[in-house]
Amino acid sequence: MTLSLLRRGASSSSRRLAPSLRRCKSTATADYDDGFEEDLRYSGMSGGKLIHEALVECGVDTVFGYSGGANLPILDQFSRQNKSPIRFVMNRSEQCCGHAAEGYARASGRPGVVLTTSGPGLTNIITPLQDARGDSTPLIALSGQVPTAAVGTDAFQECLAVDLTRPCTKWSYQVRSVEEVRSVVHEAFRVATSGKPGPVHLDLPKDVMTAVLRGAGLPLPLQPPPAPIDHAALHRVAELLAIAKKPIFYVGQGANGAHLELRALAEACNVPVTTTVHAMGTFDEHHPNSLHMLGMHGAAYANFAIQESDLIVAIGSRFDDRTTGVLSKYAPEAKKAHTEGRGGLIHFDIEPSQFGRVINPTVAVSGDCKMSLAALLPIVAQYPPKHPREAWLKRAHELKAEFPFQYSPPSDKRLKTQSAIEAIYNGLKHREKDVVVATGVGNHQMMSCQFFRWTVPRQFITSGSLGTMGFGLPAAIGAQVACPDKIVVLIDGDGSFNMTLNDLGTIKEHQLPIKIAIMNDHRQQMVHVWQKLFFDSRLMATDNVNPDYVALAQAYGIESYCAKTTDDLPFVIDKFVNAKGPVLIDFRCVPDICLPMVAPGKGLDEMFMPGSIDINAGAEKQQPKMEGLAPS
């Protein structure tokens, strides 16, 4: 009976099942006798109660959400009267709920969970879902829906939720019977966390959530075995590492769970390491082999090293355009070494579909990075390097000394975003391993990458692929909830902060001790710069009219201060670092350009360096000519 219920309406676009649920349908019921016996414990529970119990079984301790008529049968399960072990955090909009769940996931490594109502509750989380999809963040989105009989009638607060979310999720599914509720929730967590992590959406009609399970539900889905390790590919990797004269590890967030193996391998092979924005801290940036972050606004020394390397080993990264520059100019030495059989480009990735999407690798290694690196370590011992690495490492150190991150401070003691961020880092340096930083999007985001040193994985939480302004504040909330013993810092721009500043109410409600630093230059400065450089200084819609942030924070009962000059820094940094509860600092900054910068159409080694562009200079100073399209 339960299987026939699951089949009903199977031709509908909302009935697209995940692979292990399809296996569950086609496997003999006798194989699941134990599962059915266990399921009898859930007989008599409503759909909403089954959702809650499945979340508990999947290890959920926090749900971020917002109330509405269509999700009340589920929301009720989190009440004090029901003694739920799950903490429910209500953000001030559904978009904030989604970004908070992302922040929770990125800081903890566990899936974030968000609960919204139907209609606008669902449409408001489209941006977080796409953000999570682009940045490979495991997210479970639960949305209420009108009763199944009303679906397709343009009922109040109805929308085609599955159709809207399918392009921005790994799996989107509408539950149509109470019998399948528990197995579908378990499958959602499997899909979100297996392979390349990402978001999953479950649409939950109100009548299914109020229906009561009679007897046993569907059995839980099968868990596929882990993919085998390709030892032949690993031996080829070891051979190339031994042959190459100038290898480099280019590390993405897929290696965040493999930081110990990465360090051991880098030291065993004596290879320099550079990371993407989401992998900063996966390799301790104080390590002598670290070349810090590469890319569009990354370290010049990392970009130069990539271009000079004869063997680029990409570990858990996807050759994003922000890290490669224009592809025709990317990795010339590695491409040459590939043709000559003495190097090339190696790609480690958990998703085989990533191979060849951007770069055709010399060797592709499919599988979990932690397992692959652990298996590679004993193999590289069998292939000692044929060339000493001292000269290559010396070259890397020379590049670091010659092209450091730097900026020109104003002569009148006014603040720049870089000087404020540098002061924050120095104030927290004594506990740098305990710090988690969330950001919005813009200059402050990239300058945070540059003027902090990152030492542990999951220390920097930002919107990378989608570049979502407004991400920072709710993401910091999620990170603080996930890591209550960590020091969570929000470094935000005024433009990004203005988009979600209403979530100060969530900080106040839960007394979250988040340290908020607003880099306030009264502009959307990064886009303002592009207008100057690419659109002949025709400035449009990039100036901000801001509130008094100190007064705004005080209105929420949050400690707050303002800094306007470098003379103010010792006082405000002391207050910022030592505040016991939430604190906000309004840093009034001089607008600046973020350099180095790899402009569109340029190679990684064709950067505009600090001092080459003075964005605050008058018309009499000629700026470099920018060609092509402005960055998107």
Residues in the chain: 632
Return the biggest CA–CA distance within the chain.
83
Write down the residue that tokens 């002391």 correspond to: 574
C-alpha angle 509/513/517, rounded to 5°?
110
The sign one gets for the Cα dihedral 357, 362, 367, 371 is: negative
Angle between helices 231-243 and 369-380 (to 10 degrees): 60
- Label residue 20 left, alpha or beta by phi (over 0 means left) and psi (-120 to 50 means alpha): alpha
By the 10 Å C-beta count (0-12 exposed, 13-18 middle, 19+ buried), 321 is classed as: middle
The dihedral of CA 471, 474, 478, 484: what is its sign? Answer: positive
SS3 assignment, position 492: strand
Yes or no: say if 514 and 487 are a contact pair by the CB < 8 Å rule: no
Backbone phi, psi, residue 60, to 5°: -75, 130
Concatenate the DSSP letters of all residues of 320-371 into one string: -HHHHBSGGGS-HHHHHHHHHTS-EEEEEES-GGGTTTS---SEEEES-HHH
Distance in angstroms (rounded) separating the CA atoms of residues 187 and 169: 14
Bridge-based pairing state of the strands 273-275 and 290-293: parallel
Q: Measured between alpha carbons, how far is residue 349 from residues 94, 196, 274 in Å?
A: 33, 9, 17
Q: What is the 3-state secondary structure (H, E, C) of 436-504?
A: EEEECCCHHHHHHHHHCCCCCCCCEECCCCCCCCCCHHHHHHHHHHHCCCCEEEEEEEHHHHHHHHHHH
Amino acid in the structure at residue 301: Y
Angle of CA points 351, 352, 354, to nearest 5°:
75
Q: How far is the C-alpha of 411 from the C-alpha of 288, rounded, in Å? A: 34
SS3 assignment, position 75: helix
74 close to 206: Cβ distance less than 8 angstroms:
no
Residue 224 DSSP SS3: coil
E strands in 208-299: 247-251, 273-275, 290-293
* Distance separating alpha carbons of residues 13 and 478, to the nearest angstrom: 33
> 126-134 vs 94-108: helix axis angle to the nearest 10?
20
Nearest CA to 435 among 421, 447, 446, 415? 421
Active-site amino acid positions: 94, 156-157, 206, 526
Using alpha carbons only, what angle is made at residue 225 by residues 222 and 226, rounded to the nearest 5 degrees? 140
Q: How far apart are CA 281 and CA 276, in angstroms?
A: 10
